[in-house]
Amino acid sequence: QHQLQYTEFWQARTGLTFGVERILFNRQSAYQHVQVLQTDAFGRMLTLDGLVMLTERDEFVYHEMISHPALCLLPRPRRVLIVGGGDGGTLREVLRYSEIEQVDLVEIDEVVIEAARTCFPELSIAFDDPRARLHVADGVAFVREAAPATYDLVIVDSTDPVDFAEGLFGESFYRDCARILTDDGVLVTQSESPFDYTFQASIQAAHAMLGRIFPRVHMYLAHIPTYPMGLWSFTLASKRLHPVEDFDPEQAARRLAPFADRLRYYNVELHRAAFALPSFVRRLF
Ligand code: AG3
């Protein structure tokens, strides 16, 4: 009974294999194959079209790192837009701040939300917060129609740049994000592994597009054991604030204080460290 395994293939024959104890959720949606597996080493694991989105054991790294660097950089973040993120993990991190007044979350696939509601209550509980507004819609269309200067922060918590997620790595989407952000606004997007050659060209292209739209574009890194190659990147594009030079550690520490003991990865010291890039990553841009 211990022979079931699941492999996310990164290349034709190279990937990461998980021991599977049970299949907890298994549904083909209008967009993708949504599965939740009980694994032996990483607890429950959500996959979309066979790609690992999160595991119970290491989701904190991704969700803290896609949220807190920008939220601690911004002087007064109040309104946030999350594009994707239907599992609720990013939403949970954003809602930790009492000064956040409203978070719109735009998820294209309601089956992802259902999988999270069924199998990841510790994440999807965030949907019950009165400050959260859930929209089952296409993120590209949502940002096109949103009013100017509405959000202090836009977080793109997407899958890989393929299929219907490709638009979330495109120039017109980024232009709309810039338009709906306030004057100090910040955009953060997940940007794949710097070791990954599959998406290197599209990530470099996305970085260049952001550079044409935002005065500042910075990549930062975190270790995520269950994602391809284990080293992951995020890209922070900003209209004014420099993510390290304008970062005020005292302001950040004050803001984190009410929940700092619940964070498992991000802290004020790590903020600076995350933006220090290995030389091979610097040379990519
Ligand atoms: N967003 C997915 C990051 C991409 C993972 N790629 C992969 N496994 N090939 C995660 C959503 C969690 N809120």
| pLDDT at res. 197 | 81
112 lines ligand 1 (CB under 6 A): no
The whole-chain average pLDDT of the chain stands at 97
Q: How far is it, in rounded angstroms, from Cα 269 to Cα 16?
A: 31
190 lines ligand 1 (CB under 6 A): yes
Token pair of 149, please?
């200067």
CATH code where residue 40 lies:
2.30.140.10
For residue 122, pLDDT over 90 is answered with yes
Based on the fold, state whether residues 120 and 136 are members of the same structural domain. yes
Ligand 1 centroid from CA 160, angstroms: 7
For residue 162, pLDDT over 60 is answered with yes
228 lines ligand 1 (CB under 6 A): yes
Residue 51, domain extent: 5-55
What domain count does the chain have? 2
Looking at residue 2, its amino acid is H
Catalytic residue chosen out of the listed positions 157, 160, 176, 196: 157
Atom of ligand 1 nearest to the CA of 52: 8
**ipTM value:** 0.98
Nearest CA to ligand 1 atom 13: 85
Based on the fold, state whether residues 215 and 242 are members of the same structural domain. yes
86 lines ligand 1 (CB under 6 A): no
Q: How far is it, in rounded angstroms, from Cα 132 to Cα 95?
A: 8
How would residue 2 be classed by pLDDT, with cut points 50, 70 and 90?
low
Q: How far is it, in rounded angstroms, from Cα 252 to Cα 259?
A: 12
Residue 157 known to be catalytic: yes
For residue 211, pLDDT over 90 is answered with yes
Q: How far is it, in rounded angstroms, from Cα 17 to Cα 35?
A: 15
33, 6, 27: which is closest to 17 by C-alpha? 6
The whole-angstrom distance between residue 177's C-alpha and the CA centroid of its chain comes to 15
51 lines ligand 1 (CB under 6 A): yes
Based on the fold, state whether residues 190 and 234 are members of the same structural domain. yes
Based on the fold, state whether residues 34 and 68 are members of the same structural domain. no
